[in-house]
Amino acid sequence: MNIRLATWNINSARLRMPQILRFLQEYDVDVLCLQEIKCQNEQFPLEELAAQGYEHVELNGQKAYHGVATLARMPLRTVERTVFGGIDEARHLNVEMPGVKRGGKPVQIHNFYVPAGGDAPDIKTNPKFAHKLDFLTDMATNFSKQKDRNDPMILVGDLNIAPLENDVWSHKQMLKIVSHTPIEVEHLDKVAQSLSWIDAMRCHVPDEEKLFTWWSYRAKDWQASNRGRRLDHVWVTPSLEGCATHMQVVEPARSWERPSDHAPVIVDLKI
């Protein structure tokens, strides 16, 4: 069974519906995980998606900020919406695909929006940075205690960390910038180690090559300056190792009218 899965920080689902519909159609996506939907569940535009064949939508929304959604052509079932890091915000949604199994178990998809962490990389002066690290610590603990690395799971989303040197435009100039500080990378590494998660994007692009998914709105010409970061990720547990047969960052979407500042990431899975 071949499944095309995508993740996209959409920066307002309601405002960006034309781009969402265009993306689903042009790229023939089966499952789309959205972050920063910025609306309550009741406000999410279900009808337009159903009309285009995406009849299955699971939500964890909230008013104005954050919020994640997972939508698909095939049935989905919400397993859990978990609060990490002690602050009750809509930043996680775990769904399973009852019709998509590996080793007799339905494949689960964790959709994450990790806190951005504010400006100063200092837990003493910046509560947002402390929250980000707490969130990551909680993720690692929760996975270790509650989950089994032998289960087929996919983790996608905006993790707001670019861990590798070539996940940012300038490693040296980014070392003290939130999203690329060593302490954040250490915390993210612990999350990855908790269930031996595999970085499915880097399986397709060598560590020596630049790979970005986000470009700031503040650049005059995002392509010319190309000061990007890889903030969005796709991980799989060991039982799905090698299942991601193809990966692409859909950079053209960053140039569409009224774009999100994130580009979608697509993986093709053979399950």
Partner DNA sequence: ATGGTGGGCCACCCA
Q: Exposure of 156 by Cβ count < 10 A (0-12 exposed, 13-18 middle, 19+ buried)? A: buried
Comparison of 13 and 195: residue with beta carbon closer to DNA: 13
CB of 218 to DNA, least distance (A): 4
Q: Exposure of 148 by Cβ count < 10 A (0-12 exposed, 13-18 middle, 19+ buried)? A: exposed
- Distance separating alpha carbons of residues 158 and 46, to the nearest angstrom: 22
CB of 246 to DNA, least distance (A): 28
- Distance separating alpha carbons of residues 201 and 224, to the nearest angstrom: 24
CB of 23 to DNA, least distance (A): 15
Comparison of 94 and 260: residue with beta carbon closer to DNA: 260
- Distance separating alpha carbons of residues 197 and 257, to the nearest angstrom: 35
Comparison of 44 and 54: residue with beta carbon closer to DNA: 44
Comparison of 82 and 144: residue with beta carbon closer to DNA: 82
CB of 38 to DNA, least distance (A): 4
Comparison of 74 and 177: residue with beta carbon closer to DNA: 177
Residues that bind DNA (CB under 7 A): 11-12, 14-15, 38-39, 63-65, 115-116, 118, 128, 160, 217-218, 258
CB-side exposure of 227: number of CA atoms within 13 Å? 11
CB of 89 to DNA, least distance (A): 8
Query: Using alpha carbons only, how large is the chain's radius of gyration in Å?
Result: 17
